[in-house]
């Protein structure tokens, strides 16, 4: 998606050979017009997949996932990372290990917000090692729902997340694929 790549070129900051900072439009300040286009693009790519629901994880997945859900005309559910006061009743959970933070955490979605047989599109802002996506897949499957696809805004293709998800048989659509961040420079796949 050319407009996204343009934003990354103009406003992305390479923090290391592993980490790209995009706080100017995605992870802190949010560009609503860009999010709207991202949502429309995911809706286009997954049209005909009979998506019933979009699922993401707080915090930074919510903006692109919300615009995707709006474009598809379906609800969005986000997994919580922390227990909420109002989150009562049965909870579907998964343990997620973060390579970036080197900590394991539990994510959860109330069982009442996912139904057996639903077709779910998972959306997230970044794909690195794929741990967040695999945690969401686990929760969707615990509900008896089906993962119809995975939409990623920025994929770091030099990390193993995409290959592992594809190995498991999932369709991954990434709007920007980064081949390398070496030398302080963003290089895209293709």
| Smallest distance, Na ion to C-beta of residue 73, A | 23
| Smallest distance, Na ion to C-beta of residue 175, A | 14
Is 40 within any annotated ligand binding site? no
For tokens 């967040």, the residue is 132
Q: How many CB atoms lie within 10 A of CB 91?
A: 17
Q: Select from Na ion, ligand G4P, none the partner in contact with residue 143, using the beta carbon and a kind-dependent cut-off of 5 to 8 Å.
A: none
Q: Select from Na ion, ligand G4P, none the partner in contact with residue 16, using the beta carbon and a kind-dependent cut-off of 5 to 8 Å.
A: none
Contacts of 151 (CB under 8 A, 6+ apart): 42, 45, 46, 64, 68, 121, 122, 123, 124, 173, 174, 175
| Smallest distance, ligand G4P to C-beta of residue 125, A | 5
Looking at the Cβ atoms of 59 and 115, the one nearer to ligand G4P is 59
DSSP string, 127-183: ESSSHHHHHHHHHHHHTT-EEEEEEEEEEETTSTHHHHHHHTT--EEEEEEEEE-GG
Looking at the Cβ atoms of 31 and 124, the one nearer to Na ion is 124
Report the distance separating Cα 111 and Cα 116, nearest Å: 10
Looking at the Cβ atoms of 74 and 134, the one nearer to ligand G4P is 134
| Smallest distance, ligand G4P to C-beta of residue 51, A | 22
Q: Segment contacting Na ion (CB under 5 A): 44-52, 57-65, 107-115, 175-183?
A: 57-65
Is 11 within any annotated ligand binding site? no
Report the distance separating Cα 69 and Cα 31, nearest Å: 17
Residue 120 pairs with which residues in a beta bridge? 53, 147
Widest pairwise Cα distance in the chain: 49
Looking at the Cβ atoms of 74 and 127, the one nearer to Na ion is 127
**Which parts are annotated binding residues?**
20, 27, 128-132, 156
**Which parts are annotated binding residues for xanthine?**
20, 27, 156
**Which parts are annotated binding residues for 5-phospho-alpha-D-ribose 1-diphosphate?**
128-132
Please report, as ranges, the residues that interact with Na ion according to CB under 5 A. 60-61, 124-125
């Amino acid at each position: 998606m050319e407009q996204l790549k343009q934003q990354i070129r103009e406003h992305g900051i390479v923090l290391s050979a592993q980490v790209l900072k995009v706080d100017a439009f995605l992870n802190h300040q949010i560009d609503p017009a860009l999010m709207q286009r991202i949502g429309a693009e995911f809706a286009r790519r997954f049209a005909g997949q009979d998506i019933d629901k979009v699922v993401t994880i707080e915090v930074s997945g919510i903006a692109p996932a919300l615009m995707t859900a709006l474009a598809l005309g379906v609800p969005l559910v986000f997994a919580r990372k922390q227990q909420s006061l109002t989150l009562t009743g049965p909870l579907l959970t998964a343990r997620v290990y973060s390579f970036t933070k080197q900590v394991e955490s539990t994510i959860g979605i109330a069982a009442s917000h996912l139904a057996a047989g639903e077709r779910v599109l998972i959306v997230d802002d970044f794909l690195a090692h794929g741990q967040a996506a695999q945690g969401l897949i686990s929760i969707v499957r615990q509900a008896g729902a089906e993962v119809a696809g995975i939409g990623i805004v920025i994929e770091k293709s030099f990390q193993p997340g995409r290959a592992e998800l594809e190995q498991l048989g999932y369709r991954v659509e990434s709007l920007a694929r980064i081949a390398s961040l070496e030398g302080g420079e963003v290089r895209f796949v293709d």
